[in-house]
Structure 1
Amino acid sequence: MRIGIIGGGLAGLVAGYSLADAYDVVIFEQEPELGGLLSSYRNERYTIERFYHHFFSGDTTLMTLLDELGLSDEIIWLSGSTGSFTDGDIHPLTTPFEILRYPYLSIIDKARLGLFTKQASHMDMVPLDAITAHDFIISKLGERIYHSFFEPLLKSKFGQNADLVSAAWLISRVAIRSDRGVAGERLGYINGGFSVLIDRLSDAAQDKGCVIRTEVPVTSVVQVSVSPDPGWEINGEFFDMVIGTVSPRILQNLGVPGIPSIPYQGAACLTLALSRDVTGGIYWLNITDPAPYGAVVSHTNFAPFEWYGEHLVYLASYFSGDPDPSLQEKMLSDFCTKFSVDPKEVHWSRIAIDRDAGPLYLTGYMNNLTNPAVPGLYLAGMFSPENYPERSIEGSVKAALRVVEGIQNRE
């Protein structure tokens, strides 16, 4: 039984690793580097993810996988501090004292916000899928709390579509991030970065017999038979089953039948290496002032500076359609101006752009969470049910394992 997997990101690798014991599995990845959005830049001293990542203490499926791969001892738990860049100033928002000092909310606003945050984990997400986060927060907490606290987060994640995102996404994010101490969120990372996981996973899959073809884009997917036994051709090569892990747009363009039409957005992430910390020790800084990026994520205010020997910062921007061709220059120029950085202090910079970085969680998104009724076709991507209301590394692992179970139960 031959299985072809489209995409060598985390979901594709987990599926390949889990199926290779019993099946003839081939993974097709168009890029030279495996991992998809979890892939990394590599230099002589260290690796660093092309897009920022961490995981949570409740991500038990991911941690089971890490244990199986012998990586449990490489898990480290770090504190993720937060803040806001508003009116040209950095406002820390991690500790209760810092939140109390935040000048853009009254004491009553802050008390209401604190109570609301505690209630988030008990809210029913189903009705929240039908209302925008914008309307829900304003109805519950008022415009001042929305514009001062929630709108910057939504804009940092969804850019121009911020006001259209479902309340289910926002409340899920608030709930999942409730594991906070006085130093900030408790977030998981891997000693040496997520390249350690991708390398270990791809090696383990290949040790089991999985074939991984990098720099081999899929150009055609054709259903050659339906019943009694399904059959497919990927790039003219026969497979009994196909697992799609890339975006619906790509699968549709390849001619794969039964793919739901789910809107995606792109992401541009500019990584900078600097001589010094410029965000006051804060890990995640939402930008409320006008800027060509929505957040500044100072990686070395999260992972130890000693691993890298230089300060690493991400500038994150989300977009629909095609990105501005001069986006990198605009992001770098704006950042240097806002944070008083001399361009000579930038050791290096690289931009990663993915047009299909993730779904747009618009209202009614739950209606799209259906598996295609196409024999021999399985989907495990960021548009899968496991990644809603909040996409995550955990969700990608769960989506892959659901597909694996479906294939195994089919026999």
Structure 2
Amino acid sequence: MDICIIGGGLTGLVAALPLSEASEVTVLEKEPLLGGCMASYQRDGYWIEQYYHHCFAGDSHLFSLLDDLGLKDRLEWLKGSTGYYVEGKVHPLTSPMEILRYPHLSFIDKARLGVLTLRAKGLDLSSLDDVPAGEYIREHLGERVYTSFFEPLLRSKFGDRRDEVSAAWLISRIAIRSDRGVEGERLGYLNGGWHLLIDSLEERLLSKGCAIEKGTPAISLEHTGGKWLVNGRAYDVVLATIPPQEIKRISGDETFASLPYQGAACMTLGLDRDVTRGIYWVNMKDQAPYGAVVTHTNFAPRERYGEDIVYLASYFAGQPAPDLKETMLSDFCRRFSVPKTAVHWSELAVERFAGPVYTTGFARLIPAYEERGLYLAGMFSRPNYPERSMEGSIIAGLEVADRIMEGQDD
């Protein structure tokens, strides 16, 4: 059986592992590097992800995969501190005392926020799918908690579409991030970088005889004569890990629904200084051309890199502004008093389909693993709802592979 997997991100690579055992598998990846949003830059002496990533204590499928690839001993648990940038100042919000000192919420506001954090894991997410996140927070915690705490978070993740996001996503995010102590969240990172996971998957797949074609986008998809034609080449089975609207575009099949998606523009900077007061993740309450400042070297040890590494995270709909890189860099340098000479290097990664926007009613939009003879899996699949993650992408890859193999046995 000949199988084509469109997309060399985590879901596609994971699905290819079991499928390569008994089939001829070809992976098509449009970019020159595998990994999708998990691709990395190679700098002098180290690797750094194009988009920041970490994992959580409950990611059992990820841990099993790392173990299988001989990478389990590389997994380390680090502290993820948080803060907010408000009125030109960074406010740490990691420890209970820092939260109590935060001047933009009252004591009652903070108590309500604490109760919600404790209750989040027990709430029924399915009942929140049709409830806007902003409406939920305003009703249960009040307007000030929304504007001073949650609105910057929603804006940093979803930009202009933040008012469409469901409470299911927000509560899920609170629940998954409740593994924290006085020093911050307990988050997992791969010592040496997540490129080790992608490279190990590639090496394993090549050893199984899988063909991997980088820099090769799928530009056409057609079903004819009992075969699927991808770029004119015939396959028995196709697994598409790209968004359904992209399947619609390359196939011309208008019956594939478009899901709400957003693009991401993530700038990575190498600096000679720390600008976020030792804090890993700073959400921007003040208006800026980025929603969060993520200082990777306040998470992973700085000595591994020899410089401070900062991400500026921005999301967009459609196309990013043509001058976005310079706009982000200029604003960052001005806002954080960083001279241009302190910036060793900068890169801007842009992905038009970085991930779904979990709008109200999203649960009803999730496609099945098989539609009209085509297999679909990716960040839009059910294991990635209501919050996408490496764990969800791995589960989606394993489940769709099982479905493909079951379908061939029928």
TM-score bucket (shorter structure)? over 0.9
Return 198-207 or 258-267, whichever deviates more: 258-267
Distance change >3 Å, CA 299–CA 273, structure 1 → 2: same
Distance 1:372 1:233 in 2: 19
Distance 2:72 2:316 in 1: 36
Distance 1:33 1:358 in 2: 18
1:6-405 alignment runs, 5 A limit: 6-225=6-225, 230-255=226-251, 257=253, 258-371=255-368, 374-405=371-402
Counterpart AA for 1:336? C
Distance 2:379 2:370 in 1: 19
Distance change >3 Å, CA 155–CA 34, structure 1 → 2: same
Distance change >3 Å, CA 398–CA 373, structure 1 → 2: closer
TM-score by length of 1: 0.97
1:370 to partner: Cα distance: 2.9
TM-score by length of 2: 0.98
Return 371-380 or 87-96, whichever deviates more: 371-380
Distance 2:93 2:369 in 1: 43
Listed one character per residue, the Cα deviations across residues 12-36 of structure 1 (whole Å, up to 9, x for unaligned) are 1111122111110000011111100
Give the secondary structure class of the aligned counterpart of 2:48. strand
Number of aligned residues: 407
Counterpart AA for 1:286? N
Distance 2:45 2:38 in 1: 19
1:375 to partner: Cα distance: 4.9
1:373 to partner: Cα distance: 5.2
Does structure 1 conserve the Cα–Cα contact (< 8 Å) formed by 2:367 and 2:376?
no
Listed one character per residue, the Cα deviations across residues 87-108 of structure 1 (whole Å, up to 9, x for unaligned) are 0001000000000000011111
Counterpart AA for 2:165? V
Counterpart AA for 1:282? I
Distance 1:53 1:295 in 2: 14
1:219 to partner: Cα distance: 1.1
1:371 to partner: Cα distance: 1.2
1:127 to partner: Cα distance: 1.5
Give the secondary structure class of the aligned counterpart of 1:267. strand
Distance 1:274 1:44 in 2: 14
State the partner residue of 1:5.
Answer: 5
Does structure 2 conserve the Cα–Cα contact (< 8 Å) formed by 1:247 and 1:383?
yes
1:372 to partner: Cα distance: 6.3
Distance change >3 Å, CA 207–CA 397, structure 1 → 2: same
Counterpart AA for 2:294? V
Distance 2:41 2:257 in 1: 32
RMSD: 1.1
Give the secondary structure class of the aligned counterpart of 1:322. coil
Listed one character per residue, the Cα deviations across residues 52-110 of structure 1 (whole Å, up to 9, x for unaligned) are 11010100011111111111101011010000000000100000000000001111111
Does structure 2 conserve the Cα–Cα contact (< 8 Å) formed by 1:259 and 1:372?
no
Counterpart AA for 1:191? N
1:209 to partner: Cα distance: 1.0
Distance 1:302 1:34 in 2: 25
1:158 to partner: Cα distance: 0.3
Listed one character per residue, the Cα deviations across residues 158-186 of structure 1 (whole Å, up to 9, x for unaligned) are 01111110000000000000100111000
Distance 1:318 1:95 in 2: 29
Counterpart AA for 2:281? W
Does structure 2 conserve the Cα–Cα contact (< 8 Å) formed by 1:17 and 1:202?
no
Counterpart AA for 2:231? N
Distance 2:157 2:289 in 1: 13
Distance 1:63 1:260 in 2: 33
1:256 to partner: Cα distance: 6.4
Distance 1:71 1:292 in 2: 37
Counterpart AA for 2:315? Y
Listed one character per residue, the Cα deviations across residues 178-233 of structure 1 (whole Å, up to 9, x for unaligned) are 100111000011010010000001100110111100111111111114xxxx4201
Distance 1:252 1:222 in 2: 11
Distance 1:201 1:234 in 2: 23
Give the secondary structure class of the aligned counterpart of 1:282. coil
* Structure 2 gaps, min length 5: none
1:44 to partner: Cα distance: 2.8
Give the secondary structure class of the aligned counterpart of 1:186. strand
Does structure 2 conserve the Cα–Cα contact (< 8 Å) formed by 1:266 and 1:320?
yes
